[in-house]
Amino acid sequence: MWWAILVSGVIGYAIGSLQFGLIVGRLTRGVDIRDYGSGATGATNVIRTSGAKAGVLVIVLDIAKGIVPVAIGMGIGDAAGLNHDDGAWAAAAAGFGAVVGHVWPLWFGFRGGKAVATGFGAALLMNPLACLALIPVAAIVVGAVRIMSVMSIAMPPVLAATFIVLAVLGVSPPAWAAYAVATSALIVFKHRANIQRLIAGTEPKIGKGGEKRPDPGPDREPAGTQG
pLDDT single digits (tens) 16-67: 999 999 999 889 888 888 888 777 888 888 888 888 899 899 999 999 999 9
Is the per-residue pLDDT at 96 higher than 50? yes
* Residue 172 placed within a domain: yes
Domain count, the chain: 1
Q: What is the pLDDT at residue 214?
A: 65
- Specify burial of residue 33 (Cβ count, 10 A radius: 0-12, 13-18, 19+): buried
In this prediction, residue 218 carries a pLDDT of 44
Query: Would you place residue 224 in the very low, low, confident or very high pLDDT band (cuts 50, 70, 90)?
Result: very low
Domain membership flag for residue 205: no
Q: What is the pLDDT of residue 223?
A: 36
Q: Are 43 and 21 in contact (CB under 8 A)?
A: yes
SS3 36: strand
- Tell me: the pLDDT tens digits for 168-208? 999 999 999 999 999 999 999 999 999 999 999 988 887 66
Averaged pLDDT for residues 129-138 = 94
The alpha-helical segments, DSSP class H, found in the chain are: 2-16, 20-29, 43-50, 52-79, 84-103, 116-126, 128-145, 148-168, 174-190, 192-200
Residue 127 domain-assigned (yes or no)? yes
Residue 225 pLDDT exceeds 50:
no
The CA-to-CA distance between both ends of the chain, in Å, stands at 34
Grade residue 210 by pLDDT with cuts at 50, 70 and 90: low
**What one-character DSSP code corresponds to residue 212?**
B
- Domain residue limits at 163: 2-200
- Structure pTM? 0.87
Flag whether 226 is in a domain: no
In a domain, 75, yes or no: yes
Question: Residue 155's pLDDT is what?
Answer: 96
* 223 belongs to a structural domain: no
The pLDDT assigned to 170 comes to 94
Output the pLDDT for position 49. 82
Q: Give the pLDDT score at 208.
A: 65
Predicted pLDDT of residue 188: 97
**Any domain includes 76:** yes
